[in-house]
Structure 1
Amino acid sequence: MERTGASNHDFDGGLNTLICQEDLYDEEHPPYQNKQQDNKLKDTHLTIADTENIANELNKLQETYKTAIETMNGANKELDSEKSRQAQTNWELEHQTRRKDDYEKQINTITRDIESMRLHLPLISNGCRHCPPGWILMNFMCYYFPFSDTGGVKTWQKARDFCQTYGGDLIVIDSKDKENSTVNYLRNHIDHSKPLSGFWIGLRDLQNDGIWKWLDGTVLVEGYWDDNEPNNVNSDNCAALNPSENFFKAWKDVFCGVMMKWICEKAPTSMN
């Protein structure tokens, strides 16, 4: 029984002690946690100066954003303008390219016309010079090309006899320019719908020893032979010109007795 009484007394005294401590904290000494909460409330409180600073910063950001937008719009306008200028430049380039191509075509046409007229103009030197009927004046010389079927075909020797009848001989082609002009003239006047045939020229290998000579006895220096020509297969070899597109490969080795067309050459006669 005594233990029980003592135990109750101790419990009451402890409860009173707890109550007194709480009252003491509330009235005189607040706990440390309450001080920290007050400090936080004081720290988050904005003054008028703070709101003005924030407003100023916001205005600055808005001005910066506005300036950036204006700059971007200006750059876009410049880009559009540059694209427009570039398009016009491309159009002009295309236009000038077409003009250049047209000029080149005109130049080529005029050059051919001049060459054609020059071939038919009489040579004026110490009086007028002319060619026999049916002959043409080209490079200050008269030439005969038997294009028509009525002219027929001849052996190399018969063709030479024909030329000599008119005071000339078979053509001697001793330069690249002469070879080029002769082949071009043939190509511009032959009938391309018919089989391509050769024309006798004044060159032959009389001894069949591989030494080709012109009619005046001059040894050939530069020839314009086709591939695998001359082949020197025959005992009597004469040269014929084939009007091929590549004038560097226009000659062939033919038996002199073959019937072919020919080209005559002679100096024009003077008329004072």
Structure 2
Amino acid sequence: MENSGLSLAGAKALVVGVANAHSIAWGCARVFHSLGAEVALTYLNDKARPFVQPLADEIAAPLLMPLDVSEPGQLEAVFHAIKQHWGRIDIVVHSIAWAPLADLHGRLTDSSASGFLQAMDVSCHSFVRMARLAEPLMPEGGTLLAMSYLGANKVVPNYQLMGPVKAALEASVRYLAYELGPMGIRVHALSPGPIRTRAASGLQDFDELLYDAMQRSPEQDLVDIDDVGHAAAYLCTPAARLITGSVQYIDAGHHIMA
């Protein structure tokens, strides 16, 4: 992995959403570490920990904590541990999304109220909660990043329920940027092109989505998790101190095509 010339030396980062070595969140964590940041990681549950523990060891993560945002108190416990260990935080990456399979694979028209609310809570409102918990730990400012996708603002076949959920996430990014800007806290959504992750495997006809993205993007290429990591790292450096509230596309230009 090439060093981009950026530096995050001394930064304290929390990356949420690492499931395995193919996770977008892992690309962010690995790049942050390579640029000098200390990186804390979370894992979803005991079943997931064996896949995340070796990655935490690879980057010498000082904190590795369980986090299921749907479980009351777990998110608060993570930020309490960060306060006790570091006393502050500079970067938070939210890279989690979930919906019940029946609602994810069905039409939005047929989605259940409970499935819609669960998807919105895990995939969107948990980012708002993270922002609220991070704010007092960012007295000198910081950066909050959430992961979105093109389906937030254009119809992507088979994305269905997650389209409106990601649209809500992108709107939340703008409002959080407005509210937290006076405190020096920048907020962004990253919108990568399709990447073969565990979460993406839940989408129907994902191989066709990959092929279409590569064929139709101006650069005719697919992004990888390190591409996303480097874009995320730039937004966390002083070089991006006056950039906030944006949706940053990392997709070889696919989003500009009609």
- Normalised by the length of structure 2, the TM-score is 0.22
Whichever of the two has the greater Rg, that structure is 1
More helix, by proportion: 1
